[in-house]
Amino acid sequence: MGELYYLHVSPWSEKARWAMDLSHYNYTKINFTPMITTPIVRIRSRNFTRKVTAPTLISNQLCISDSYNIAQFVNNKNSGEHHASVDLFPCELKSQIDEFDILSNQILQAGRALVCIRMKNHRGAKLMSLPPVIPSAIRPIMLPVATMGLYYFKAKYGFNWNKREEYIETMRRGLRKVKKQLTNSGDYLLGTFTYADIALAVTLQMIEPIGKKYIPLDSDTESCWKTPELKEEFTDLIEWRNRIYQKHRST
Ligand SMILES: N[C@@H](CCC(=O)N[C@@H](CS)C(=O)NCC(=O)O)C(=O)O
């Protein structure tokens, strides 16, 4: 049993949670609030030098940060303990899965920059980004804190407010590779369902969110996650993502 620090809107957290759920890993979810939860996770994970990010999985015996490492850990544990019906990391596909996870991260990093750029100019989404414990009546006076949160992300992840077009192009290039691969491989990137499908399916959240059945978002926040410039070109990928969720993501 572990505790997963996660950010409910984040596709990185979704990658880890999806693999954990498929691997029947028993865990408690703890909301990660940027800036506020960071020192707690830093101390609990004894990480005094590297970036603290969500997802991070902590239990008495272990501490694993990074969605990919968490997914691999729960998959191995599942394969070792049960006759697992799902193997997300078949040995023979490991190097290709690694490459797809790198591609996933490139797309997600560009997507995160775009989401933050949109949020910066969206009062409603900024108000909704404040921790849920803050009563709605005093949220408006906390608006500068929400803005500060976006500048914190900018500094931590090194993006630029003025490179919107560049980030859209990075996403386009990455998603074209996914599209090309699926043309040759069928409904799964590597011929069979693996972590590569999870890693790339979650990137579409930053073009057209999957919907509240899987990832609840208020309407202001949801509007900041949409990339209409890419929707038409990647309609087939969005449909692919929807099929993958329907077949492999239980709620
Ligand atoms: N390499 C990490 C990246 C995770 C990541 O970038 N997480 C971001 C999601 S926006 C995060 O933790 N943000 C909150 C923060 O930095 O305080 C992974 O795959 O888990």
Q: Which CATH number goes with the domain that contains 18?
A: 3.40.30.10
What per-residue confidence (pLDDT) applies to 80?
Answer: 79
Residues 134 and 197 in one domain: yes
Instruction: Evaluate whether residue 86 is within a structural domain.
Output: no
What per-residue confidence (pLDDT) applies to 82?
Answer: 67
Asked whether 55 lines ligand 1 (CB < 6 A), one says yes
Residues 44 and 163 in one domain: no
Alpha-helical runs (H) found in the chain: 11-22, 38-44, 67-81, 94-120, 123-128, 143-157, 164-185, 195-201, 219-225, 228-231, 235-248
What per-residue confidence (pLDDT) applies to 162?
Answer: 98
Residues 67 and 100 in one domain: no
Residues 157 and 189 in one domain: yes
What per-residue confidence (pLDDT) applies to 83?
Answer: 66
Instruction: Evaluate whether residue 234 is within a structural domain.
Output: yes
Asked whether 154 lines ligand 1 (CB < 6 A), one says no
- Ligand 1 atom 1, closest CA: 66
Ligand 1 centroid, distance to 31 Cα (angstroms): 13
Instruction: Evaluate whether residue 183 is within a structural domain.
Output: yes
Q: Which of 170, 183, 163 is nearest to 240 (CA)?
A: 183
Of the residues 49, 81, 113, the one at which a domain ends: 81
Residues in the chain: 251
Residues 100 and 224 in one domain: yes
Instruction: Evaluate whether residue 50 is within a structural domain.
Output: yes
Instruction: Evaluate whether residue 179 is within a structural domain.
Output: yes
Residues 33 and 58 in one domain: yes
What per-residue confidence (pLDDT) applies to 81?
Answer: 77
Residues 157 and 178 in one domain: yes
Return the SS3 of 4.
Answer: strand
- Ligand 1 atom 6, closest CA: 53
Number of domains in the chain: 2
For strands 56-58 and 63-65, give the pairing.
Answer: antiparallel
Residues 141 and 231 in one domain: yes
Instruction: Evaluate whether residue 138 is within a structural domain.
Output: yes
- Ligand 1 atom 15, closest CA: 34
Residues 117 and 234 in one domain: yes
Asked whether 100 lines ligand 1 (CB < 6 A), one says no
Structure tokens at 199: 């890693």
Residues 165 and 197 in one domain: yes
Ligand 1 centroid, distance to 153 Cα (angstroms): 10
What per-residue confidence (pLDDT) applies to 43?
Answer: 95
Instruction: Evaluate whether residue 42 is within a structural domain.
Output: yes
Ligand 1 centroid, distance to 2 Cα (angstroms): 19
Instruction: Evaluate whether residue 156 is within a structural domain.
Output: yes
Residues 129 and 61 in one domain: no
Of the residues 26, 46, 81, the one at which a domain ends: 81
Of the residues 15, 49, 81, the one at which a domain ends: 81
The Cβ of residue 228 has, within 10 Å, a number of other Cβ atoms equal to: 8
What per-residue confidence (pLDDT) applies to 219?
Answer: 98
Ligand 1 centroid, distance to 200 Cα (angstroms): 16
Residues 96 and 75 in one domain: no
Asked whether 38 lines ligand 1 (CB < 6 A), one says yes
- The dihedral of CA 204, 77, 33, 127: what is its sign? positive
Q: What number does the ligand 1 atom closest to the CA of 108 have?
A: 6
In the chain, which residues have pLDDT < 50?
none
Q: Could you give the CA distance from residue 217 to residue 8 in angstroms, rounded to a whole number?
A: 9
Domain extent for 27: 2-81
